Amino acid sequence: MKWVLKWLFAILYHPIMWVLMLIAFIMPFMIYGDVKRIWNYEVPTDNFNAVLLAFIGLWLFLALRNPFLGRLYRRIPVLLPAMQMAFYTSVGLSLAIALLNGWADDGSYSKSLAAGLAAGAFVAVRLLMSLLFWKNPVMPQAASGRGGEGRD
């Protein structure tokens, strides 16, 4: 009975995962459009991207914590680092939107300070991502000794 529930969950999980992977790779371009729109028109936008990023983050967490659900990432080893890079880039741009919205909505700080804070937030997230990949370099799982091609 337990394996039936596991497979039913996997049948529901994997189609959603494919859609979220596609969205995660397109999302930095969509968020950049929002940043550009805030900058050009000086009008705040909604930051629904944060909700979608939380959902993508949950899905990535489930794939990393459960070997059964993370099968695709072990089959295609470059997919997980690519997803992480797209996710962290989107997080940085979403922080930039939040800071630019503070300027465009309230006028709580100047435009140049808002631009500096937004750029600083994006650079900080990128530096943290660089630190993550420096501490945990991307390597094939067969070479790292943590898995192999025939283990699934």
Q: Tell me: the pLDDT tens digits for 32-46?
A: 999 999 999 999 998
Assign 69 a pLDDT band (cuts: 50, 70, 90): confident
Q: Report the mean per-residue pLDDT for the chain.
A: 87
Q: Tell me: the pLDDT tens digits for 77-135?
A: 888 889 999 999 999 999 999 999 999 998 888 999 999 999 999 999 999 999 999 99
With a cut of 90, say whether residue 141 has pLDDT above it.
no
The runs of H, that is alpha helices, within 42-110 are: 49-65, 71-75, 79-106
- Which pair of structure tokens corresponds to residue 86? 């797209």
Answer whether 75's CB lies under 8 Å from 152's CB: yes
With a cut of 70, say whether residue 145 has pLDDT above it.
no
Domain boundaries, the chain: 2-137
Mean pLDDT of 16-43: 93
One-letter identity of residue 33? G
Mean pLDDT of 45-49: 88
Residue 149 or residue 26, greater confidence:
26
What is the distance between the alpha carbons of residues 152 and 148, in angstroms, rounded to a whole number?
Answer: 8
Residue 145 or residue 91, greater confidence:
91
